[in-house]
Amino acid sequence: MTFYGFARGLLLGLSKLLFRIQIRGTENVPASGVFIVAPTHRSYFDTPFAAFITRRRIRFMAKEELFTNSVGAKLFSALGGIPVKRGSASARSATKAIEAALREGEPAAVFPEGTRAHGPTIAPLFDGASYLAVKLGCPIVPVAIAGSEQILASGKKLPRLHRVSMRVGAPISPPADASTRKRSDLVALSDELMKSLQALFDVANADVH
């Protein structure tokens, strides 16, 4: 077993014990090829939770400071971390880093809401996930994570126990004729993703309340 597989299995076991986490819809996750995982974002816990939808390693963005020493670099690289500078033409540099990871053949996570949002309504989406999907011709897998905000919301320092429900939706593939040069194509794909995420999030939230 790889270190990633061991760490993922350990975290999944703990999450089932502590948060009674339930994951439905994993049959929608592609078994091969690259894809973009697009989770809702209400807590720092969403990054490890998103990794539970597949045994394959999912790449994710991590602040560059975590990679400054050899131990941190090896640990977070093994876990799928992609070092990204804070503040540097931030969105552009992050998009390029995720694109490079996808081109290596592994799925990668992009939080389409950007920073952590609040409440049961999906925040307006950024077009990063749609841009990458159109550019690389790969699908987006929407993932709703409900209950994580009650564990550790933005501004809170100490986590607490709360049930978590995850719903994985059907992959959304960009039209064959879509172009990154046409803003309308990106907006249309983001709108489709937003509708899917909201429907999944509504069901997941109903599970935990």
Sort strands 140-146 and 165-168 into parallel, antiparallel or unpaired: antiparallel
114-158: per-residue pLDDT in tens? 889 999 999 999 999 999 999 999 999 999 999 999 998 878 888
d(CA 143, CA 165) in angstroms, rounded, equals 10
Over residues 199-205, the mean pLDDT reads 98
62-101: per-residue pLDDT in tens? 878 878 888 888 888 899 998 887 654 466 777 888 999 9
d(CA 41, CA 116) in angstroms, rounded, equals 5
d(CA 153, CA 61) in angstroms, rounded, equals 19
The set of residues, in sequence order, having a beta carbon less than 8 Å from that of 14 and lying 6+ positions away, is none
pTM across the whole model: 0.93
pLDDT at 176 > cutoff 80: yes
pLDDT at 7 > cutoff 60: yes
C-alpha distances out from residue 128 to 84, 93, 109, Å: 15, 11, 11
- CATH class for the domain made up of 3-208: alpha beta
